[in-house]
Amino acid sequence: MFPERMLEQRSFLRDEEKEVRFLGEEEDEDEESFEDEERDGFDVDGEILAKKRKKKRVTYAESIEDMDFSATFISGVACKPLSWEEEEEIQLKAKAEMAGSLCLTYRRTGLSLKGYFLSQLPDLLPLADFLVYLNLSFNCLCSFPKEVFHLKHLEVLKLRNNPIKFIPEEINQMATLKCLVISFNLLTSLPAGLFALTNLEGLDVSYNELETIPHDIGNLSALTYLNIEGNFITVLPCSVLKLNFLKRLKLENNFLHPYFWNEICQLQPQRLTDLAAHCFAKHKMWKKHRHIPKKIEEILCNFRICDCCPGPLYGDGLQFICAYKNEYGLRLPYLFCSCSPTCYQEYYSRATSQ
Ligand SMILES: [Zn+2]
């Protein structure tokens, strides 16, 4: 029965004459309605007849379930419904933009967008001239937000709990920065540009994937707080000992135990080029050799000061570990690089005799 009725409904749209029957005169209810229409002004017989011809009755299905509305209804879909996560993301993004707008309106020097789960930041450029504090912790920033380089007066930047893999070299542009927190990220190295921030007083790179701390950390002369906990660090650079203002050094949950020292303190021979350059500089041979080829000159100019003496150090030098006690009596390993075997022997015998 059902397919037949479906057929009836569909064929009704194609050919009305087959599916309907005209209303008979014996149907009082409908007749009455026509009388009403007549009273309301249908007083011309021809017009009423024409109306009667149009009045048709469809052979309806017996129950609503049997009816197929697909052919007679237009079903519209406004848009694809958003998931709960997508809606929340849109709301948090809007809130973050609102926070930025309020900061601009009231010219606040601090802005916290902590825990907004943002993958992109709102426009921070309008805040460039006055923002001092910016908290972007607990977001979803996959890369270091380069927008912060435009914040000329920023002193505190917090980026805890983001999946950031590296800090770009351009961080050296943030000359006013005093505190950088970039813990619980995915950093595997620290850029040289970071150690150009001589105003930096606090640095937190804890719980990343760092294996070494660069020797250049000694350039951060204003540093009072350094947190390197929860990394894969086996030895500290000796330049940390030169940080005169360092009051707090946090380094738990690394590989600094003496058990690992033997593995990393194996002396490796120096490169002949580095040794030759060291001899050339030590004996001031440039006085005899006035015309030096450019390649040799480049090698001779590429040095840093030795960790054990005031002389020049070429290449990695002779690397060795010396353990020093910290303020709590804990012996910590520091990596030294000496310029020559003689320099190494002198320094090591002096250090171990103390
Ligand atoms: Zn030396």
- Mean per-residue pLDDT pooled into runs of 10, the chain (354 residues): 45 41 39 40 44 49 54 58 80 91 93 93 93 96 96 96 97 96 97 96 97 95 96 94 93 89 75 92 82 88 93 92 83 92 90 76
Check residue 353 and give its pLDDT.
76
Give me Rg for the CA atoms of the chain.
41
Phi, psi of 301 (to 5 degrees): -85, -10
CA–centroid distance, 281 to ligand 1, in Å, is: 12
Q: How far is the CA of 345 from the centre of ligand 1 (A)?
A: 10
Q: Tokens 């390197």 appear where?
A: 228
Distance CA 121, CA 83 (A): 22
CA neighbours within 13 Å on the CB side: how many for 99? 20
CA of 151 to the centre of ligand 1 (A): 42
Q: How far is the CA of 239 from the centre of ligand 1 (A)?
A: 14
**What is the C-alpha to C-alpha distance for residues 184 and 234, in angstroms, rounded to an integer?**
19
Ligand 1 centre to CA of 290 (Å) is: 25
Specify the CATH architecture of the domain 85-259.
Alpha-Beta Horseshoe (3.80)
108 Cα: distance to centroid of ligand 1 (angstroms): 51
Cα of 235 from ligand 1 centre, angstroms: 20
CA of 353 to the centre of ligand 1 (A): 18
Give 254 Cα–ligand 1 centroid separation in angstroms. Answer: 29
| pLDDT reported for residue 265 | 65
Pairing of strands 248-250, 236-237: unpaired
267 C-alpha to center of ligand 1: Å?
15
Q: Distance from the CA of 337 to the center of ligand 1, in angstroms?
A: 8
**How many Å lie between the centroid of ligand 1 and the Cα of residue 317?**
9
CA distance 85 to 78: 20
How far away, in angstroms, is 318 Cα from ligand 1 center? 9
Q: In the prediction, which pLDDT does 211 show? A: 95
What pLDDT, on the 0 to 100 scale, is given for residue 5?
A: 45
Residue 335 CA to ligand 1 center (angstroms) comes to 14
10 Cα: distance to centroid of ligand 1 (angstroms)? 98
CA distance 323 to 126: 50
Is this prediction's pTM over 0.75?
no
- Ion ligand 1: residues, CB within 5 A, are 306, 308-309, 311, 338-339, 343
State residue 326's pLDDT score.
79
- CA 347 to ligand 1 center in whole angstroms: 8
Q: How many Cα atoms sit within 13 Å of 63 on the Cβ side? A: 4
How are the residues of the chain apportioned to helix, strand and coil, as percentages rounded to the nearest 5? 40, 15, 50
The pLDDT score that the predictor gives to residue 83 is 80
Predicted confidence at residue 72, as pLDDT, reads: 58
Q: Where are the domains of the chain?
A: 2-66, 85-259, 272-353
Q: State the pLDDT at residue 284.
A: 84
